[in-house]
Amino acid sequence: MRAEAPAARLRLLDGPTVAALLEPAAVRAAVAEAFALHSRGEGRTFPVVREQLAEGVFGIKSGAVPAQALLGYKSAGFWPANRGRGGEPHQATIVLHDPATGRPLCVLDGNAITSARTAAAGAIGLQRLARPGSRALCLFGTGVQARAHLAEALRVLPALEQVRYCTHRGQPDAAFESAFAGRCALQFAPDADTAVAASDVVITATPGAGVLFGLGAVRPGTHINAVGADTRGKRELPEGLLARARLVVDDRSQARQLGEAQWAPELPCTEIGALDDAARAPETITVFDLTGLALQDLAVARMVLASAEAQGLGLDIAWPW
């Protein structure tokens, strides 16, 4: 006789609920743990699905941490036509599973988690690789990711004063400037090379449609967080830059397939989870190539789920076997 299945529940967490539970320091801690688990081989990341569709890009990132009973995936992509519909082009959903049974435990809106965990990863890169006392930053992009990365940079770089930003249209973005009014000295930069040359830190957070600045603009000692290249064929950095830099990645194999490292896969690189605390040579150019790990999404989603359960948030529904 078949045993009677135990009662099962499924928690649903929508975007506003998730966003309210994403405390920046806690997100950074979860992402740092994910990087360490990954580099120690204690977390598994499964092959990435990344497919070009007629309407956009669709992908799946999945993984597990057996010792922590963590299993799940994020389906995500980019649908540019959503802007014309009044919606967000980036769409992401995260599902956490019980590894013992395969049953789903929670379905979460993944948009806010994606932005927060990517920006947290960038903040970790800034803390570990940017020169202490960095005062000037050049930001490419003014969208959701760019805003999240700038907000984190302002949190973790206490000496940061001047922010120059570049847009793909070559025009100022009034809404972006309003969002950061009073938080830093923010200035539109009409010439990308001039802005890069005047900066200690560069963050590229664009759709990765092409090279954003010239190789000669990068001064010794500059640190670059490269965010936009996350698919084959995408790039933001100029030819020859990686060969001049110390290259740090979130995942070696994935970066060489999808990130900036795809353009120079033969170059040596270090995973950020394995980065030692050795002093940074002041004249060294450093690049952190962020492609995004499933373990980042899952670690942050687990944190959000625990907070939601503790506070009684979300929609808890029966999910029969």
Query: Three-class SS of residue 235?
Result: strand
Radius of gyration (C-alpha) of the chain in whole angstroms = 20
Joined tokens for residue 107: 């379905």
Residue 146: count other Cβ atoms within 10 Å of its Cβ. 23
Which of the following is catalytic: 74, 90, 97, 223? 74
Active site residue 61: no
In 3D space, the residue among 287, 308, 299, 295 whose CA is nearest the CA of residue 243 turns out to be 287
d(CA 321, CA 318) in angstroms, rounded, equals 10
CA dihedral 183→187→188→189, nearest 10 degrees, is -130
Name residue, tokens 């100022």.
172
What is the distance, to the nearest Å, from the Cα of residue 222 to the centroid of all Cα atoms in its chain? 20
Name residue, tokens 């973790």.
156
- The answer to whether 122 and 153 are in contact (CB under 8 A) is yes
- The answer to whether 109 and 13 are in contact (CB under 8 A) is yes
Active-site annotation, residues: 74
